[in-house]
């Protein structure tokens, strides 16, 4: 009789557990569906209604953890602890599921991308790629390719970026996802632009613009701002103005006001430009403030107003310091939250694997927003000139302090240290440029070069070939880094065949570069 009673109790407990697990599963499926249809807030409410401590079923825990990772990501919330997504990868490697393992690698990859940890991000995305292909999930294949294209464009691996951009665009076209076609076409345009293949760049830009209306309002604003920057960088100021005004119409932002200010300054509308930049500083976050104030400082230096330039440079530095301090605070808070979450997981005895049946369609928006926030007006910078201006300003400050008769030894010492650091950095840059010159002269290419590598080579060119560099640059207006690099190779004396090898471009692309350089020659009255 006692055995029968114990058996009955066990059956009741099992049935209750099954009912709870079924109810939990239904909630998870609902949350997953809501995420797929970008009802992200509603999905998060469903997920928060589930008790983590009562998630005893391993498959439900897995499902819950990936959905929480996904929901946190698309809602711009602090990321889940690394142990969760790593647990996903471990679990689905052990209990193989091609689609779910690919998704785990994908989410790990985009989290790392958002942290600017590109090397690890590429590794994770590449690991997920074969599983995505095996699962035949077109959305997942698209997103992995898109993110790989974005990262490779950022680090200057243009051929690899182009390969993955083609894959992403083809998948977007197959699925008839117009907003994705717009973003992928824009990225193709950016890559071809970086490769100095202007006809192809224009083709994909026009294609992107055809689909721009399908973008959500915020993304459309960001997209038009990117288009404006694109046209500014090829010296089409009227088109640049047209699209930045469309960006502002979709949604006014501090960065859009800044871009419009830069355009107006180039058009000679100085008062309007300055007013827009002041508004951008007033409305923008610390990163915008720092960038805009630095640009305003450069303008004042060009006008010979060194006192105002110095004040603006100091305000820019203060904004940058505030941004770093805030980021440090946020990182510390996130670290504490992650530790607390990890502890809660351990106490509940969870493995923290993850799974889901669909990727959120909104992931494209986050990637696009990342591109936009990193986008700057890509003019070739004269790093040495910037450094010399800084040294000049610091020297003037030291002279003023010494002449004041006050005890300002500590401040003077700090400024002298800044000058010393700048000169040390200059020497390192030139040394790096010299090494890069030897590499390409010995048969190397620039395929794996970073933006810093190109800038270092250009600064080396300006020092080592000073007279030729001054003469060459004085003939041209504003040049992009890519155009200035090509000009430096031509000036040094590399043959067309060598330049094609070095830059990994076709003869047609080189002709385009030379044509663009010819259009940039200043008119002398």
Q: 342 lies in a domain?
A: no
Q: 305 lies in a domain?
A: no
Residue pair 482/196 in contact by the 8 Å Cβ criterion: yes
Q: 228 lies in a domain?
A: no
Residue 77, classed as helix, strand or coil, is coil
The pLDDT of residue 370 is 37
For 476, phi then psi, to 5°, come to: -115, 160
Host domain of residue 467? 383-519
Q: 118 lies in a domain?
A: no
Q: How far apart are CA 180 and CA 171, in angstroms?
A: 9
Q: How far apart are CA 308 and CA 304, in angstroms?
A: 9
- Picking from 108, 112, 78, 113, the residue whose alpha carbon sits closest to that of residue 93 is 108
Tokens found for residue 511: 């002709």
Q: How far apart are CA 155 and CA 502, in angstroms?
A: 17
The pLDDT of residue 207 is 94
Tens digits of residue pLDDT in 108-120: 998 888 887 888 9
Give the chain's length.
525
Q: How far apart are CA 215 and CA 259, in angstroms?
A: 21
Q: 479 lies in a domain?
A: yes
CA distances (Å), 216 to each of 1, 212, 213, 293, 358, in order?
67, 9, 8, 30, 21
The pLDDT of residue 372 is 37
∠ CA 297-303-308, rounded to 5°? 45
Tens digits of residue pLDDT in 53-81: 777 777 788 788 888 888 887 787 877 77
Q: How far apart are CA 389 and CA 235, in angstroms?
A: 26
The pLDDT of residue 525 is 36
Q: How far apart are CA 207 and CA 136, in angstroms?
A: 27
The pLDDT of residue 15 is 44
Q: How far apart are CA 88 and CA 234, in angstroms?
A: 45
Specify which residues 379 forms β-bridges with: 480
- Picking from 71, 108, 72, the residue whose alpha carbon sits closest to that of residue 87 is 108
The pLDDT of residue 210 is 93
Tens digits of residue pLDDT in 387-407: 666 777 777 777 777 776 667
Q: 8 lies in a domain?
A: no
Tokens found for residue 112: 């790392």
Tokens found for residue 174: 């197959």
User: What own/partner pairs with CB < 8 Å and gap ≥ 24 does 281-289 have?
Assistant: 281/254, 283/254, 283/257, 284/254, 284/255, 284/258, 285/254, 285/323, 286/319, 286/320, 286/322, 286/323, 286/326, 287/319, 287/323, 287/373, 288/254, 288/255, 288/258, 289/315, 289/316, 289/319
For 521, phi then psi, to 5°, come to: -65, 130
Residue pair 66/103 in contact by the 8 Å Cβ criterion: yes
Residue pair 282/274 in contact by the 8 Å Cβ criterion: no
Residue pair 496/470 in contact by the 8 Å Cβ criterion: no
The tally of domains found in the chain comes to 1
Q: 447 lies in a domain?
A: yes
Q: How far apart are CA 208 and CA 227, in angstroms?
A: 9
Q: How far apart are CA 515 and CA 486, in angstroms?
A: 12
Regions of the chain where pLDDT drops below 50: 2, 4-18, 20, 341, 344-381, 523-525
Give pTM, 2 decimals.
0.58
């Amino acid at each position: 009789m006692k055995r029968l009673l114990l058996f009955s109790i066990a059956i009741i407990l099992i049935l209750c557990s099954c009912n709870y697990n079924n109810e939990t599963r239904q909630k998870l499926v609902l949350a997953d569906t809501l995420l797929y249809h970008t009802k992200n807030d509603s999905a998060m409410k469903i997920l928060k209604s589930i008790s983590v401590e009562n998630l005893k079923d391993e498959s439900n825990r897995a499902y819950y953890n990936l959905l929480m990772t996904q929901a946190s990501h698309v809602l711009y919330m602090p990321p889940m602890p690394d142990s969760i997504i790593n647990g996903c990868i471990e679990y689905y490697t052990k209990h193989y599921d091609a689609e779910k393992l690919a998704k785990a690698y994908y989410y790990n990859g985009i989290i790392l991308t958002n942290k600017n940890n590109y090397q690890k991000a590429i590794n994770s995305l590449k690991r997920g790629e074969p599983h995505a292909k095996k699962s035949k999930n077109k959305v997942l294949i698209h997103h992995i390719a898109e993110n790989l294209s974005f990262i490779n464009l950022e680090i200057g691996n243009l051929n690899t970026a182009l390969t993955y951009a083609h894959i992403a665009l083809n998948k977007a076209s197959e699925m008839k996802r117009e907003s994705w076609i717009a973003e992928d076409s824009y990225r193709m345009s950016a890559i071809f632009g970086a490769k100095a293949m202007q006809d192809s760049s224009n083709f994909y830009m026009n294609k992107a613009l055809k689909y721009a209306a399908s973008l959500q309002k915020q993304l459309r604003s960001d997209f038009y701002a990117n288009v404006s920057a694109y046209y500014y960088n090829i010296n089409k100021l009227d088109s640049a103005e047209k699209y930045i005004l469309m960006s502002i119409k979709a949604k006014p932002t501090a960065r859009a006001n800044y871009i419009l200010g830069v355009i107006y300054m180039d058009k000679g509308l100085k008062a309007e430009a300055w007013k827009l930049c002041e508004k951008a500083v007033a409305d923008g976050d610390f990163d915008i403030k720092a960038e805009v104030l630095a640009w305003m400082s450069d303008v004042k230096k060009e006008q010979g107003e060194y006192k105002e330039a110095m004040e603006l440079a100091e305000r820019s530095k203060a904004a940058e310091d505030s941004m770093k301090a805030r980021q440090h605070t946020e990182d510390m808070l996130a670290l504490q939250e992650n530790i607390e979450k990890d502890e809660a997981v351990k106490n509940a005895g969870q493995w923290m694997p993850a799974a889901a049946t669909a990727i959120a369609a909104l992931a494209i928006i986050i990637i696009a927003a990342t591109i936009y926030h990193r986008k700057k007006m890509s003019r070739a910078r004269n790093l040495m000139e910037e450094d010399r201006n800084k040294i000049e300003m610091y020297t003037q400050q030291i002279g003023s302090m010494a002449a004041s008769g006050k005890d300002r030894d500590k401040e003077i010492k700090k400024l002298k240290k800044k000058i010393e650091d700048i000169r040390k950095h200059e020497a390192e840059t030139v040394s790096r440029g010299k090494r890069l010159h030897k590499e390409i002269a010995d048969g190397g290419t620039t395929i794996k070069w970073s933006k810093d590598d190109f800038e270092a080579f250009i600064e080396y060119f300006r020092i080592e070939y000073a007279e030729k560099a001054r003469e060459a640059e004085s003939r041209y207006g504003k040049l992009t880094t890519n155009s200035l690099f090509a000009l430096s190779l031509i000036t040094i004396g590399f043959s067309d065949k060598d330049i094609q090898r070095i830059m990994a471009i076709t003869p047609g692309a080189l002709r385009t570069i030379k044509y663009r350089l010819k259009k940039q020659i200043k008119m002398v009255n």
